[in-house]
Amino acid sequence: MGVIRGERLYVRLSASQTRRRLHGLGLGVRKVESAGRNRAVIIHTATEDHRRDLLAILEDVIESVPDEE
């Protein structure tokens, strides 16, 4: 199995709750994986407007945001 390319965004929600929150939106989300208890990692390729929308949807549970370029 290959490595999925994209930025990683860590959130303080379970993977299933994160999937529910993002369901049907797209926004460049490639995969949502569990990163421990009540913690998930979102692998995404979102840029510009989609990235801002993604961060806005998850703003209350984000643990870390990758640096802007």
Tell me, what's the pLDDT at 19? Answer: 94
Number of domains in the chain: 1
Q: Which domain holds residue 24?
A: 7-64
Tell me, what's the pLDDT at 65? Answer: 63
The whole model's pTM is what? 0.84
Q: What is the CATH number of the domain that holds 52?
A: 3.30.70
Rounded Cα distance, 2 and 22, in Å: 24
By C-alpha distance, which of 4, 2, 8, 1 is closest to 67?
Answer: 8
Tell me, what's the pLDDT at 39? Answer: 94
- CA dist list (Å): 30 to 5, 37, 44, 55, 64: 8, 21, 5, 15, 18
Structural domain contains residue 69 = no
Cβ proximity of 47 and 28 under 8 Å: yes
Tell me, what's the pLDDT at 69? Answer: 45
For every one of its 69 residues, what pLDDT tens digit does the chain have, with 9 covering 90 and above? 688 888 999 999 999 999 999 999 989 999 999 998 999 999 999 999 999 999 999 999 998 766 554
